[in-house]
Chains A and B, each alone.
Chain A
């Protein structure tokens, strides 16, 4: 049973859109792609609407993170760092990163979505645990548990 003030799909979208969009912009930058990712997230919510019970917020935030992860062709933050560090290296360095990113992304896809969202924000985006907890609206203890589990699994997968 929904406990939110708004319980219709339209009301949920209106209430959650700013936060979902903020997450997408955090992961994809101030681009049109972030808005598309936010729209995709709400489309997924619409498809799963009947299966979601209770507050759809945390589900939406996790889905937003994972949607952005699917859309990304590389670790945005690190590609920017490499480009800033030395533009002369160019294609070879970026190709190496792209290959590594593909490997990491395949491993991430094998994680449960909760762990994938947490580890993406913590280890790849470099957010603090408390920031991840705030963004995903879960407790810090839960984030710690999820990232520990995700790290142990990734260690075997990567």
Chain B
């Protein structure tokens, strides 16, 4: 069978219609029929393929690209505002009442009746505050 006699099968196969095994076997080894098939597919897309594939694909990627920063923003661990308060300790004579936390002197064990430090953790809910009572050691 000459190649020209496969034209109907090429036209059918280009549109996804079923064709015989004999044609498929011929197609594998025939460059002319493969070219015809490729050209028929390109031509058929002109009247059959009305979906703008490339652009639709691009919009899909744009959607993903837009979603990634949003997901990162939502999922990224945010710093919790921690406020360390100095305990209300009696001021030692000659020592200013306000002692910076970083330089707060370590209390002697004998005097340690109260917790050395308190951490106040502010949450997103203004009505919920977490207080941590810490030991100096």
Contact = CB atoms under 8 A, between A and B. Distances in A.
Interface of A: 75, 77-79, 81-82, 85-86, 89, 93, 97, 100, 103-104, 107-108, 119, 122-124, 129, 144-145, 147-149, 151-152, 154-155, 158
B11 A81 contact: no
A97 B50 contact: yes
B48 interface: yes
A143 to B, nearest CB: 9
A104 B15 contact: no
Nearest to A82: B52
B98 to A, nearest CB: 60
Contact of B43 (A75, A144, A145, A158): A158
Given A86-B59, A158-B46, A147 B17 contact: yes
B7 interface: yes
B50 A81 contact: yes
B interface, size bucket: 20 to 34
A155 B43 contact: yes
A89 B12 CA distance: 34
Contact of B15 (A81, A100, A107, A147): A147
Given A97-B50, A104-B47, 4 more contacts: A82-B51, A123-B47, A147-B11, A148-B9
Contacts of B52: 82, 85, 93
A123 B43 contact: no
Contacts of A124: 47-48, 50
Contacts of A86: 55-56, 59
A144 B59 contact: no
Nearest to A143: B17
A111 to B, nearest CB: 11
B43 A154 contact: yes
B37 to A, nearest CB: 12
With most chain B CB atoms within 10 A of its CB, the pick from A77, A85, A97 is: A85
B14 interface: yes
B40 to A, nearest CB: 6
Contact of B7 (A107, A129, A152): A152
A100 B46 contact: yes
Interface string B32-74: 0000000110011011101110011001000000000000000
Contacts of B8: 145, 148-149, 152
A109 to B, nearest CB: 12
Interface string B3-42: 0000111011011010000000000000000000001100
